[in-house]
Amino acid sequence: MEYNKLPGTEIEVSKICLGTMTWGTQNTKQEAFEQMDYAIDNGVNFFDTAELYPVPASAETYATTEVYVGQWLESRKCRDKIILASKIAGAGDYTAHIRKNGFKGDSIETALNQSLKRLKTDYLDLYQLHWPERLTNYFGNRNFKYFNDSWEDNFQEILLKLKKVIDSGKVRHVGLSNENPWGIMKFLEYSKNELPKMITIQNPYSLLNRLFEIGSGEICKRENVGLLAYSPLGFGVLTGKYRNGNVPKNSRLDLFPTMASRYTNENCFNATELYHEIADKHNLTLTQLALAFVNDRPFVTSNIIGATNMEQLRENIDSINTKLSKEILDEINQAQERIPNPAP
């Protein structure tokens, strides 16, 4: 395994991060435990979860994933070996069963305390805002619309609340998720007034979605913010299992078709064919190509993988050993030029 430091810290995290969002829907507690055991035995020390998980979000399964992680940490007695990240859910109709006031009031402190209780720990290494409160273009919305919303600038207020939980010792560092360049810069601007700096951003990044490189990539390079790349396999599309119209039983496209709309347009499937040809030409699986590409990016601190079975997990973690030549990278860039960012 290879490791990077979380920006501005001495905390070393594995370049492969174990994602957890299927634990409690597609994966049982026993399967989650097996994944965590395998991950730590193979050098993965970075786990990412969220109060929202598993997905799709529902009142019935709310926070089940954190409960599983907490029970594993307690049973394995290895909290000191894991860099643990979680997230507070943003506002939205689909999170009304969690809370309805976003990051307002005492929501951040309350949500954190509940997560700590479920995770059976007294601190988080990284606490993230899962998505912005304001209406903006995330979760597959390609273009910004001039919304007439009631949101008011509360960046400083949020950072003051995060400073409080950091000062209490319950959180070591803070980060963003599903944020755009304007939001990143606003948080960084306010952090200069002796407030916490957002040291990471968890955004989608894959062969099918390289929009992070436009704007956010330069910000993160110059401001020392690390990308925690999620959906590196594009909802599983970049494994190749959906090629030629196939939809395997119990796959995400089979179980949750409405969640996958940004990954199932014609351009996505056409681009996937281009990347499959490149992988096949160089004796790689499509999964190896897709994950190795993300692992290779200089602005990526860690690549968040997710698996629903052990075969997938083994291939995902082993991707750290796949290195792409300049020839392969050139061919990838040519494919990107032909069909740019089909899955925003």
| Two tokens, residue 27 | 């994966």
Q: What torsion do the CA atoms of 342, 338, 206, 133 make, to the nearest 10 degrees?
A: -40
Nearest alpha-carbon partner for 167 in 112, 101, 228: 112
pLDDT of residue 148: 72
Task: Label residue 260 by pLDDT band (50, 70, 90).
Answer: confident
340 preceded by a cis bond (ω within 30 of 0)? no
Whether 239 is in a domain gets the answer no
Nearest alpha-carbon partner for 252 in 267, 237, 238, 240: 237
**Burial class of 103 by CB neighbour count within 10 A (0 to 12, 13 to 18, 19+):** buried
Number of domains in the chain: 1
Q: Which residues have CB under 8 Å from 252's CB, separation 6+?
A: 26, 235, 236, 259, 260
Whether 323 is in a domain gets the answer no
- Which of 7-21, 135-149, 161-175, 215-229 is least confident? 135-149
- Kindly report the length of the chain: 344
- Please state, in angstroms and rounded to a whole number, the distance separating the CA atoms of residues 306 and 317: 10
> Computed over its alpha carbons, how large is the radius of gyration of the chain?
19
pLDDT per residue as tens digits for the range 21-54: 999 999 999 999 999 999 999 999 999 999 999 9
Residue 339 contacts residue 271 (beta carbons within 8 Å): yes
334 pLDDT above the threshold of 80: yes
pLDDT per residue as tens digits for the range 301-324: 999 999 999 999 999 999 999 999
- Which of 22-26, 125-129, 249-253, 297-301 is least confident? 249-253
138 pLDDT above the threshold of 80: no
Provide the strand spans (E) within the chain: 3-5, 12-14, 16-19, 46-48, 83-88, 124-129, 171-177, 198-204, 226-230, 300-305
Residue 47: give its domain's CATH number: 3.20.20.100
Angle at which helices 286-296 and 266-281 pack, to 10 degrees? 90
Q: Which domain holds residue 29?
A: 3-233+302-307
- Please state, in angstroms and rounded to a whole number, the distance separating the CA atoms of residues 133 and 139: 13
Whether 144 is in a domain gets the answer yes
Whether 61 is in a domain gets the answer yes
Whether 130 is in a domain gets the answer yes
User: What average pLDDT does range 202-221 have in this prediction?
Assistant: 96
- Select the highest-mean-pLDDT range: 237-251, 252-266, 314-328: 314-328
136 pLDDT above the threshold of 90: no
Mean pLDDT (the chain, rounded): 95
pLDDT of residue 146: 67
Using DSSP's 3-state secondary structure scheme, residue 83 falls into strand
144 pLDDT above the threshold of 90: no
Residue 204 contacts residue 141 (beta carbons within 8 Å): no
- Please state, in angstroms and rounded to a whole number, the distance separating the CA atoms of residues 244 and 241: 9
236 pLDDT above the threshold of 90: yes
Whether 26 is in a domain gets the answer yes
Whether 279 is in a domain gets the answer no
Task: Label residue 61 by pLDDT band (50, 70, 90).
Answer: very high
Catalytic residue among 38, 53, 123, 146: 53
Strand partners, 126: 85, 173
Is 242 annotated as catalytic?
A: no
**pTM exceeds cut of 0.85:** yes
Whether 180 is in a domain gets the answer yes
| Two tokens, residue 104 | 């307002």
Residue 84 contacts residue 124 (beta carbons within 8 Å): yes
